[in-house]
Amino acid sequence: MKQINHYLHRKVLVLGLAKSGVAAASLLHKLGAFVTVNDFKPLSENVEAQELLEQGITVICGGHPVELLDEGFQLVVKNPGIPYHNPMIQRAIEMGIPVITEVELAYQISEAPFVAITGTNGKTTTTTLVFDMLKKGEKLPLIAGNIGTVASTVAQEASPENTIVIELSSFQLMGIETFNPRIAILTNLYDAHLDYHGTRKEYVQAKANITKNQTSSEFFIVNAEQEETMAVAKESNAKIIPFSTRRVLQEGAYIREGWIYFNDEPIMETKDILLPGAHNLENILSAIAASKLSGVNNQAIFNVLNTFSGVKHRLQFISEFKERKFYNDSKATNMLATQNAIAAFKEPIILLAGGLDRGNEFDELIPYLKNVKSVVTFGQTAEKIERAAKSAGIKTIKRVDNVEKAVPVAYQLSEPGDVILLSPACASWDQYKTFEVRGDIFIQAVHMLK
């Protein structure tokens, strides 16, 4: 950890706790700042705030009083989930107080370089692949951010020999000032989180922040098949490394005659990749690019891709039982994700789908249902998904109460050689607290068949 004096005796407000807020407050306290923590949850119910209080940190709980900002704070470190239209944040900006997220702190103290991954879809899979490839290549990676330990905690332990592999959301990237990864990846851009950002332009700009501080000595790996991602690349000062699953490139990562190439070097055959799905090939290409730029050998890359069966709840292979393969894609909380999941298979599919009703119909799924022989529905959107299935000409449609009951019904409808796929196309909140809970119940139900 770099010993910096930047925060010594500075008044800093940490707004919102959770893991990142606790880590930021503790780190700033260690760096000599005068830290005040403000969290909405009452102190009596707030274990994290109580622990910070014991460290000697000032804690104000039970609301976000705007007048707190009149106490002369020189910096606000906000929880990424707090939107910028929050009155406290708006007031801080009006007062000229810088507002950052915990990731910026992590970068400032880290002795290790960063490989940072963002995008609408594929972030978690790509981050996991990069980490696994660097680990197999003995590059001493550490994983941080949304799928690992809080970044500023990891950065305190990292040495120059390590590489911090970090998944970053648009929320986190809006709050950076100097953050500059040695390698940045932008997987893709689609509509997302517009309730937070307000406009797509602001969302894209937040994602583009991943490369805003890069120079010609750093690398920006970017999807060559999207105009919007390439427009972001044009504004970057980094060395651009494109990837494409559709065409051969002069440089970067691409596929030619069934082989994956990085620049002119053949890496491995696509038939040796265990993880299914054309969308996952994009994730794989960007991860290979980052790994090759980090000095990972081809055998290490092959060993990872030949055995990697997916991140949990993201087109995750569960098991094969009586010649049926079961896949858990509970993270598919929208139609695009389910479209990608269905397109990943050539085998006949029994689709398990349904969940929270956000008011939309499911007509966009219809062209993708040609390979689906049966549908098992559940949740608030069961009837809507059934209408789409009937329009696609699917004859066998069954409705059940929940995911647990869907699994044995799907098995009864299946034949040897079929894929039984949970890809709900909906959020889980009508029946389950999270998509992870929904996926875990699916996994348990699959194992109960045995």
Was 121 annotated as part of a binding site? Answer: yes
Copy the structure tokens of residue 258.
Answer: 């069934």
Rounded (5°) CA angle 80-139-249 = 80
Copy the structure tokens of residue 86.
Answer: 């929050």
CB 350 within 8 A of CB 446: no
SS3 203: helix
CB within 8 A of 158, min separation 6: which ones?
Answer: 1, 110, 111, 112, 142, 164
CA–CA distances in Å: residue 231 to residues 93, 227, 234, 441: 29, 6, 5, 42
CA–chain centroid gap for 260, Å, is 24
**How far apart are alpha carbons 136 and 154 in whole angstroms?**
20
* Dihedral-angle region of residue 167 (phi above 0 means left; psi in -120 to 50 means alpha; beta otherwise): beta
Rounded (5°) CA angle 324-370-282 = 80
Was 119 annotated as part of a binding site? Answer: yes
DSSP of 315-352:
SEEEEEETTEEEEE-TT--SHHHHHHHHHT-SS-EEEE
CA–chain centroid gap for 293, Å, is 22
H or E element that contains 202: helix 200-208
Nearest by Cα to 283 from 390, 363, 188: 188
Strands of the sheet with 253-256, listed across from one edge: 141-145, 163-167, 114-118, 183-186, 219-223, 239-244, 253-256, 259-262, 265-269
SS3 247: coil
**How far apart are alpha carbons 178 and 33 in whole angstroms?**
19
CB 342 within 8 A of CB 371: yes
Was 229 annotated as part of a binding site? Answer: no
Copy the structure tokens of residue 419.
Answer: 């894929």
Was 19 annotated as part of a binding site? Answer: no
Was 46 annotated as part of a binding site? Answer: no
- Feature table: binding site for ATP: 119-125
Q: Which residues are annotated as a binding site?
A: 119-125
